[in-house]
Amino acid sequence: MSDAAAEPGAPVDTTKPIPQASEKSVSNEVQKKAPSLVKYAQTPDKVILRLNKLISTPGGLNSFLSTFNYTLYLVAYLESKSIPLQTRLFSLLGRSGPSPATLAAPSHIAALGTLLSSTRTTLRLFGLFPLYAWMRTLLQGPKQGQDPVLYATALTQCTFYILFQGLENIGLLTDHKVLSPSATARWNKSGTTARIYTWSYRAWLAGVLCDFVRLGREAQLERIKRSNSEVSTTEQEKTDARWWSELIVPFAWLPVALQFAGVKEGGLPGFNLGIMGACGAMAGLSKTTALWESTA
């Protein structure tokens, strides 16, 4: 983020000391009589500054938008399911309330969620650059002492994520006529980019599954480490907490990846916007929370 521009104003004579506010000044009186009011007035300012710091950190913007986006999906689903309850509540209160047509109108929350989803997809057009950097590092070979299974898993996962991002970029650029439809006609026999996106999400699913392999291998290595040497209880607790926190992420993404990858024709039974929102919010919550705490 760029630094705030200095606002023009009258020059200040810094040679003269600034007089202290008197005991009966307005600011002092407010702080004495309404300290809680001052505290609450400062809260939005602190939140905005911390939010600005969060989205300025590497990965902060993507993490925040993802968590916020899927939270909106969950809220939009709950809002749609609350229509009968709203109608019943107004009836019990003896009020007419909003008309059924108004309640059934497209949700503004869902519209915002769709907008954020499109924004995130557009931002991912640049997602191949960090993936390229990761692959370039991996192709230099495993680091000294690195487990060969973990190295092979990372190499495989990076390959799948590059396929995912590359295919998604092709689909998006084709949809917006940046790429000629004739360039991808062999994959778009239906006249749409649906097939490209399906294979993109299948590559993403494979990348998500690699996380289970990685975490399984890390757990195996940790058991061997603990059996061969003494590990402090505090260190064990930290390792276990980190491992379980990381395990939540692929478990949360798995239903979403299976749904969009078209593994089952017609989609997963019972899958809806609410499930997708809950899964996505849960997957990004731990990282977003950690980034938010780092801004304190």
The whole-number pLDDT of residue 8 equals 37
The whole-number pLDDT of residue 265 equals 78
Q: What is the pLDDT of residues 100-154, one digit of tens each?
A: 555 556 678 989 999 999 999 999 999 999 999 999 999 999 999 999 999 999 9
User: What is the reported pTM?
Assistant: 0.78
Calpha distance 18→46 (Å, rounded): 26
101 compared with 285, residue with greater pLDDT = 285
Q: Where are the beta strands (DSSP E) in the chain?
A: none
123 compared with 183, residue with greater pLDDT = 123
Lowest mean pLDDT among 97-111, 132-146, 246-260, 265-279: 97-111
Calpha distance 138→231 (Å, rounded): 30
Calpha distance 175→180 (Å, rounded): 9
Is residue 74 predicted with pLDDT exceeding 90? yes
Q: What is the pLDDT of residues 80-94, one digit of tens each?
A: 887 767 666 666 666
What is the 8-class DSSP label of residue 142?
P
98 compared with 16, residue with greater pLDDT = 98
Collapse the DSSP code of 95 into the 3-class scheme (helix H, G, I; strand E, B; otherwise coil) and give the result: coil
Q: How far is CA 221 from CA 11, 147, 228, 239, in A?
A: 65, 9, 11, 12
Which single residue is written with the structure tokens 């300025």?
56
The confidence band for 282, taking pLDDT boundaries of 50, 70 and 90, is very high
The mean per-residue pLDDT over the stretch 217-235 comes to: 90
Residues 6+ apart with CB under 8 A from 86: 97, 98, 103
The mean per-residue pLDDT over the stretch 164-178 comes to: 94
Alpha helix stretches (DSSP H) within 57-97:
60-81, 83-92
1 compared with 73, residue with greater pLDDT = 73
Q: What is the pLDDT of residues 15-58, one digit of tens each?
A: 444 444 444 454 555 455 555 555 555 677 788 888 888 888 87
The whole-number pLDDT of residue 7 equals 39
